[in-house]
Amino acid sequence: MTLPYAFVLNHISGDSAGNKQLNLSALAVVRSLSRQKIPVVLVTTNKTDAIIDSRHCHHVEYCPYLYDNESALVEFLNALAEKYAGPRVLVPVVDECAYFVGKRYDELKSQFLIPAAGWDAVQVVNDKRQQYELAESLGIAIPETYFPQSVADVIALAERISNYPYVIKPNVSFEWKLSTMRSRAKGKKGIKVDSAQELIQRAEEIFVPGYDFMVQEVIGGRDERLVTFLAYMDRKGKPHSYFVRKKIRQSPVDFGYCTMTESCHNETVVAQSSYLLNALGFHGMCGVEWKLDPTTDTYKLIEINGRAVNTTGCAIAAGVDLPTIAYFDAIGQTRAPVTDWPNGCRWTWLSMDFWAARQLMSEGKLTFRQWLKEVFGVQADAVFALDDFRFSRRYYMRFFGTVIWGKLTKFRIRKPSTSPSTAEMSRPEI
């Protein structure tokens, strides 16, 4: 029996140099579904999407940019029904695609089964201000957070807050990926500031009317205090299957993407996440991040991600295959819930963890021996997979080439190597 097609909706911004770009959540979803003998159609914006080269990507369709014309993308997706007969499952895998599918849900549901949230939930998840307002209404703790509307508001705010450091972050995460903001934010998820003067300076650099940002306290403590709840929430907003992980490292080190994590159990995080998502009426895959505040010993909400997250591969390695669970629920073949897993199942994005570890080593916070011990304890890599060997080899050949290139450049110009967030990180990952 042939299973219905899974359409994995990705969005790649494009690169004038033709460099490949890799989305880890999309890769994890594509591999998960393909391994279940599900025919996978990658719907993406251009040929720089690295996942096209994966053996688990069976078909590719190039779609319009949703930033250019949302209606054109709706028409494109619905037209695919003529090419791919039978039931079709649509899975958004990045923030902007989850936003688009939620907003246009009613226009897409006649042609697709959609294991993802509709507009009522998506408009809250999309905006951190609304996330925090919901959390506070439920009695859930959040970090000290402010939402200035102008540089003048920031100047006034800087005069009355004192709990430095703070971090400047976008209200809508994917807006900092857009061309208007990308150069200002310099590819960062957040910008740390240590003084009132620096807060005002950074706000002046990044402020653009219409692109709201927030100023938030930096909760102290190591990355291990960052704990994430990954789940598939059913149509009633209940956690069908879920998983918990704690972060070990991220890159950039202060505010970046997870590069090493491992499974754990945390009943507080499970309870708070379930309560929050149920109140939201959320349906689909998601990730809810929390951090334990050492001053209050409470878990505070960092953010809700309304789609499969980059570390979905960690859950899959631990036996909680969220993409497959979501797909089969969408087609009416609901699988048994998975709500337990082994502790200590470790996942890494090795190429990026190398840079994070190198920075920590330079600061005396990690030794090479400690890093190797952690790496040798890894059960799953974000990219490497034996059943996708050619893709993996190509990726890591580029990574090792980047390392060698950096060493040769350092030797030629006889200067200290730059931080991983500048020259070396700017080279393509695949």
Q: Are residues 206 and 334 in the same domain?
A: no
Peptide bond connecting 252 to the previous residue in cis, omega within 30 degrees of 0:
yes
Q: Are residues 265 and 362 in the same domain?
A: yes
pLDDT value for 212: 86
- Residue 322 one-letter amino acid: L
* Total number of domains constituting the chain: 4
Residues 4-58: pLDDT tens digits? 999 999 998 765 556 788 999 999 999 999 999 999 999 999 899 999 999 999 9
Q: Give the domain-ending residue among 217, 232, 250.
A: 217
Q: Are residues 228 and 377 in the same domain?
A: yes
Report the CATH number that the domain containing residue 55 is assigned in CATH: 3.40.50.720
Would the CA dihedral through 18, 24, 25, 26 be positive or negative? positive
Q: Are residues 209 and 224 in the same domain?
A: no
Residue 126 lies in a domain: no
pLDDT value for 182: 65
Q: How confident is the model at residue 414 (pLDDT cuts 50, 70, 90)?
A: very low
Q: Are residues 232 and 185 in the same domain?
A: no
Q: Are residues 196 and 94 in the same domain?
A: no
CB atoms within 10 A of CB 424: 19
Residues 261-319: pLDDT tens digits? 999 999 999 999 999 999 999 999 999 999 999 999 999 999 999 999 999 999 999 99
Residue 356 lies in a domain: yes
Residue 121 lies in a domain: no
Residue 75 lies in a domain: yes
Q: Are residues 225 and 368 in the same domain?
A: yes
Q: Are residues 44 and 165 in the same domain?
A: no
Q: Are residues 343 and 255 in the same domain?
A: yes
Report the CATH number that the domain containing residue 191 is assigned in CATH: 3.30.1490.20
pLDDT value for 178: 66
Are 284 and 306 in contact by the 8 Å Cβ rule? The answer is: yes
Residue 124 lies in a domain: no
Range of the domain at 57: 5-114
Q: Are residues 235 and 349 in the same domain?
A: yes
The alpha carbon of residue 24 and the mean position of all alpha carbons in its chain are separated, in whole angstroms, by 8
CA distances 76 to 73, 83, 90, 267, 417, Å, are 5, 11, 13, 43, 46
**What is the percent of the chain where pLDDT is above 90?**
73
Residue 102 lies in a domain: yes
Residues 346-378: pLDDT tens digits? 999 999 999 999 999 999 999 999 999 999 999
Q: Among the ranges 161-170, 177-186, 327-336, which has the highest mean pLDDT value? A: 327-336
> What's the predicted TM-score (pTM) here?
0.89
Those residues whose C-beta lies under 8 Å from the C-beta of residue 169, and which sit 6 or more positions away, are: 128, 189, 190, 191, 213, 214, 216, 255
**What is the percent of the chain where pLDDT is above 70?**
89
CB atoms within 10 A of CB 176: 22
Residue 119 lies in a domain: no
Mean pLDDT of 323-337: 97
Q: Distance between CA atoms of 91 and 83, rounded to whole angstroms?
A: 18
Q: Give the domain-ending residue among 217, 247, 269.
A: 217
Report the CATH number that the domain containing residue 225 is assigned in CATH: 3.30.470.20
Q: Which residues pair with 285 in a beta bridge?
A: 232
Helix segments in 80-118, DSSP class H: 95-103, 105-108
Residue 413 lies in a domain: yes
pLDDT value for 207: 83
Residues 93-120: pLDDT tens digits? 999 999 999 999 999 999 999 999 999 9
Q: Are residues 26 and 103 in the same domain?
A: yes
Q: Are residues 266 and 200 in the same domain?
A: no
- Is the pLDDT at 412 greater than 70? The verdict is no
pLDDT value for 406: 56
